[in-house]
Amino acid sequence: MQRVARAITQLNLTILRWVSLLVFVVFVLLLADVAMRYLVGRPAIWTAELATLIFGVYAIIAGGGLLAQRGHVNVDIFYGAMSRRGKAGVDLATWPLFFAFVAVLLWQGYDMASQSLQDWDRSNSMWKAPLWPTKMFIPIAAALLLLQGLVRLWADIRVLRGLPVDPDTFGAQPGGHDAAGDKPDER
């Protein structure tokens, strides 16, 4: 079971590393758009839209990797001061909200992607960019996020039980805590 958790975490982190390179592609596309507009006097009809579509893929597919790194935004007013067990308890209590969100994203994303693929969906711009490839990433990303969420759930249960949580298997742990689950000064 830990091998499966490690594989899910490493897959999400590898995807995150590779997808982060898309930022450079977006940068080059937007730079080309500005150059065409101001140096040539005619903007390209496709650069800004393609940059938006690539950024959409980047934003959605990075979710699982961000969850593995604990990179999502969170309100740290009370959570940041909690022990690792306290954080695990809060994460466990809010897990149904995460599951509901990801379930709807998976369900609606699948419906949207399959309809888009069936219709060979295109944008309404002059370029008529194909939208279906970008929309196909929504259910894939939701599935990856759900899998990483299940790994995170298992990690939180292990923390509450006082078991070690390997970061290579379960992803990054809250800062300032050791593998036993407490702040070093709480022992």
- DSSP line for 133-178: HHHHHHHHHHHHHHHHHHHHHHHHHHHHTT----HHHH----TT--
Of residues 45 and 186, the one with the higher pLDDT is 45
**Residue 4: pLDDT band with limits 50, 70, 90:** very high
Does a structural domain hold residue 187? no
Does a structural domain hold residue 182? no
Does a structural domain hold residue 134? yes
Measure Cα distances from 118 to 16, 67, 135 in Å.
Answer: 29, 31, 12
3-state secondary structure of 43: coil
Q: Domain limits at 151?
A: 2-74+81-174
pLDDT digits (tens, 9 = 90+) for 93-151: 999 999 999 999 999 999 999 999 999 999 998 889 999 999 999 999 999 999 999 99
CA angle 127, 53, 60 (to 5 degrees): 160
Residue 53 is which amino acid?
A: L
Residue 161: its H or E element: none
Does a structural domain hold residue 147? yes
Contact indicator for 161, 179 with CB cutoff of 8 Å: no
Tell me how many domains the chain contains: 1
To the nearest whole number, what is the mean pLDDT of the chain? 88
Does a structural domain hold residue 125? yes
Q: What is the pLDDT of residue 45?
A: 85
User: Residue 62: is its pLDDT beyond 70?
Assistant: yes
Does a structural domain hold residue 185? no
Does a structural domain hold residue 86? yes
For residues 58 and 187, give the distance between their C-alpha atoms in angstroms, rounded to a whole number. 42
Does a structural domain hold residue 180? no
Residues 6 or more apart whose CB falls under 8 angstroms from that of 83 comprise 177, 181, 182, 183, 186
Of residues 40 and 144, the one with the higher pLDDT is 144
Q: What is the pLDDT of residue 181?
A: 43
First-to-last C-alpha distance (Å) of the chain: 30
Q: Phi and psi at residue 122, in whole multiples of 5°?
A: -130, 160
Name the E strands within the chain: none
